[in-house]
Amino acid sequence: MTQVNVIGLGYIGLPTALMLAKSGVSVIGTDLNEELVKSLNDGKLTFQEEGLEELFHDALSNGIAFSNEYSMTDTYILAVPTPYIEETKKLDPIYVISAVNKVLDVCKKGVSIIIESTISPGTIDKHIRPVIENRGFEIGSDVHLLHAPERIIPGNMIHELEYNSRTIGADDLGVAKKAKEIYAKFCKSEIVLTDIRSAEMSKVVENTFRDINIAFANELAKICRTDDIDVYEIIRIANKHPRVNILQPGPGVGGHCISVDPWFLVGDYPDLTNLILTARKTNDSMPSHVLSRIRDIMREHNITDISKVGLYGLAYKENVDDTRESPTLQLLERLDEHLAFGVKVYDPFVKENIVENQYQDFEEFLDEIEVAVVMVGHDHIKENTVSLKDKLVLDAKNIIEGSYVYKL
């Protein structure tokens, strides 16, 4: 039986490990976070996701194990963080390099190392191959390298693990086919085999494409705001053209894909990424645009106390508890820069207090504010719009109508 050690049990690694185990693969999930591993061994999930609880129990029934230690297995799947360096916008490969080194400490000859973490084009050539070779391993015989970038989104992980197409890049087609057999145990869609550099580039390009399209909608919102035009009406009309599909503007871009991956291209190709850089800057500017709209509303209604403002939503997207790179956190950072403290925050999905003035009770949150800023379109707020009828509302997600509602 194939044995797989999944390294990194976050939003990507854990669902992948559970899906493999449910599908009959012998899986050990590894993470250096001792509390996380203890929680999983105690039968408690570390984040919320539709269908994850049932998948967790199925995986436990099939014998999945969790550990802080790396194991000697046939295959390793690395799903560790890949941040970028703020100053240069280049990928910081420190976590991937560390994971590869720990695999080399325990692995047997002929092992396959599959990197699922999103990496910039050329990362494996520049950073991973030298690590392996400097340790005295021969790539292609002692160690087989592959890149199989994840392609799932919080809120719909289980479905997308099964039905999204996958890409596997490898030096050797035979090695890629063996990896394909592993993923095919749960992936019901097409699995494309290619070389490693193409796999690296394709994932970054996918998220960059989305970032640019979002930036167009956000820039359009700013243009329309300048001339007091309803951007949503403009988009509605324009989208009636058979070849036009403009997205909806929003308060910013979060998550660990769209808000990060395009920077890898900017960092590596600074002279060739003018459009990509502009899109990144546009999307990163949206929390400041929201802040400007909050100030407009406060001035219009003679509200001088910033503590009367409440931000609804801490997650980066609707109906999840994932706060990575969330526009709300970005907005709060900008408030800190202006020494303006006291803004209230509430999110029904984020149970741990991660910012100041974060409320866990919706009614208590509403009692303390006069201006409600909808940053995330959770189903919860869609079902409770009546609760906002006596508030001034800045709706950054275009989900509420009424005379008391302001838009981007």
Name the 3-class secondary structure at 217: helix
Average pLDDT of the chain to the nearest whole number = 95
Q: Is residue 93 part of a domain?
A: yes
As a whole number, mean pLDDT of residues 207-211 equals: 96
Residue whose tokens read 């408690």: 44
* Cα–Cα distance, 78 to 76 (Å, whole number): 6
Residue 212's alpha-carbon distances to 51, 248, 273, 281, 400, in angstroms, are: 31, 13, 11, 10, 26
Q: DSSP H helical segments within 338-382, as ranges?
A: 362-367, 379-382
Q: Is residue 172 part of a domain?
A: yes
Q: Is the pLDDT of residue 339 over 60?
A: no
Instruction: Tell whether 184 and 296 lie within a shared domain.
Output: no
Which of 159, 194, 229 terminates a domain? The answer is 194
* Cα–Cα distance, 148 to 150 (Å, whole number): 6
pTM of the model: 0.91
Q: Is the pLDDT of residue 50 over 90?
A: no
Q: Is residue 241 part of a domain?
A: no
Instruction: Tell whether 161 and 297 lie within a shared domain.
Output: no
Which of 151, 176, 194 terminates a domain? The answer is 194
Q: Are 110 and 175 spatial neighbours (Cβ–Cβ below 8 Å)?
A: no
Instruction: Tell whether 160 and 58 lie within a shared domain.
Output: yes
Query: Phi, psi at residue 148, to the nearest 5°?
Result: -130, 80
CATH number of the domain within which 298 lies: 3.40.50.720
Q: Which residues are catalytic?
A: 203, 257
pLDDT in the model for residue 255: 87
Pairing mode of beta strands 75-78, 405-407: unpaired
Instruction: Tell whether 47 and 186 lie within a shared domain.
Output: yes
Instruction: Tell whether 188 and 328 lie within a shared domain.
Output: no
User: Over the stretch 130-143, which tens digit does the pLDDT of each residue have?
Assistant: 999 999 999 999 99
Angle at 96 between CA 74 and CA 264, to 5 degrees: 130
Closest listed residue to residue 293, CA positions, set 216, 405, 399, 377: 405
Q: Is residue 239 part of a domain?
A: no
Which of 194, 215, 243 terminates a domain? The answer is 194
Q: Is residue 371 part of a domain?
A: yes
Q: Which helix (H) or strand (E) holds 224?
A: helix 196-226
User: Over the stretch 180-193, which tens digit does the pLDDT of each residue have?
Assistant: 999 999 999 999 99
* Cα–Cα distance, 165 to 209 (Å, whole number): 17
Q: How many independent structural domains does the chain possess?
A: 2
- The CB density around residue 364, as the number of other CB atoms within 10 Å, is 11
Name the 3-class secondary structure at 171: coil
* Cα–Cα distance, 8 to 96 (Å, whole number): 10
Domain that holds residue 15: 3-194
Instruction: Tell whether 179 and 294 lie within a shared domain.
Output: no
As a whole number, mean pLDDT of residues 101-108 equals: 96
Residue whose tokens read 């693969």: 25
Q: Is residue 201 part of a domain?
A: no
